[in-house]
Amino acid sequence: MKAVLRLVLGLLIAAAVWQGAVLAFGIRPHILPRLEMIWGAVLQAPHAYWQGFLRTLIETLIGFAMGAFIGVLNGVVFFRLPALRDMLLPIFVVSQTIPVIAFGALVVLWFGNTLMAKAIIAFYLTFFPVTVNTLLGLNSVDPRQVDLLRSFGAKGPQILFRLQLPMALPQIFVALRLAASLSLVGAIVGEWFGDTTGLGVMLLQAMYNENVVALWAAIFCCAILGTGFYALVAWVERRLVFWGAEQ
């Protein structure tokens, strides 16, 4: 409850600063519009914003789920098979150096203008940090604890699920929180390869029509989606990683 109050307080202060600055310095609307203009734009077509929000949300969720799953899986496999890690990790790194916009046309070619095309791009952005952090977390597990469990007769999978993965969870969640943001980026950028609905489409349309009010309206929708999703991941983290040092 306290956290919610703080959030509201923070947002109110930010809104007051915004509105105050616009009014006090007479900032022109095409640089920073007044907040009620943005709100008005949303109210004019609430259904469209809601549709766009939902569409981008679904793409983000699918991409995130795929990225998280494959990422953790990769991390575990690489941890168990160092030879494979040495061979594939450099390629993963290389793959991450290629900007999505460069091969987005290929994704459209293969998947068409489908939800899946966007989810794939979101996946592409998320799986790598999760892989790296899972590997890092697994590597940082104290080998003496592993030896101890083994001396009690624990098998590989048991050690993995009872000790190593739980110990790696804090690290994994750092990546998952990052992935929550990145999957949204992927979904939005994915929509820049031709689509009809979604927040990314709205951003693009507003950007090129120089409709700054609509641009901010879309940015706010992204912020709500991103913050909400991030908060959800952080909430799950607190429930699961209760030993993480919470202040």
d(CA 138, CA 150): 16
If the CB atoms of residues 71 and 150 are measured against another protein, the closer one turns out to be 71
If the CB atoms of residues 69 and 205 are measured against another protein, the closer one turns out to be 205
Place of tokens 């030896």: 147
Using DSSP, state whether 112 is helix, strand or coil: coil
If the CB atoms of residues 76 and 121 are measured against another protein, the closer one turns out to be 121
Q: Give the H or E element holding residue 16.
A: helix 2-25
Q: What one-character DSSP code corresponds to residue 191?
A: G
Q: How far is CA 146 from CA 152, 159, 162, 163, in A?
A: 10, 7, 10, 8
If the CB atoms of residues 158 and 244 are measured against another protein, the closer one turns out to be 244
Q: Which amino acid is at 189?
A: V
- Minimum distance, C-beta of residue 151 to another protein, in the bound complex (Å): 25
Provide CB contacts within 8 A for 150, sequence distance 6+.
159
Output the CA angle 57-60-66, nearest 5 degrees.
140
If the CB atoms of residues 151 and 210 are measured against another protein, the closer one turns out to be 210
Q: What is the dihedral of CA 30, 221, 69, 141, to 10 degrees?
A: 80
d(CA 91, CA 95): 6
| Residue of 60, 82, 77, 42 lying closest to 221 (CA atoms) | 42
If the CB atoms of residues 163 and 195 are measured against another protein, the closer one turns out to be 195
- Minimum distance, C-beta of residue 29 to another protein, in the bound complex (Å): 10
- Minimum distance, C-beta of residue 230 to another protein, in the bound complex (Å): 6
- Minimum distance, C-beta of residue 116 to another protein, in the bound complex (Å): 4
Cβ(184)–Cβ(229) under 8 Å? Answer: yes
- Minimum distance, C-beta of residue 153 to another protein, in the bound complex (Å): 30
- Minimum distance, C-beta of residue 241 to another protein, in the bound complex (Å): 11
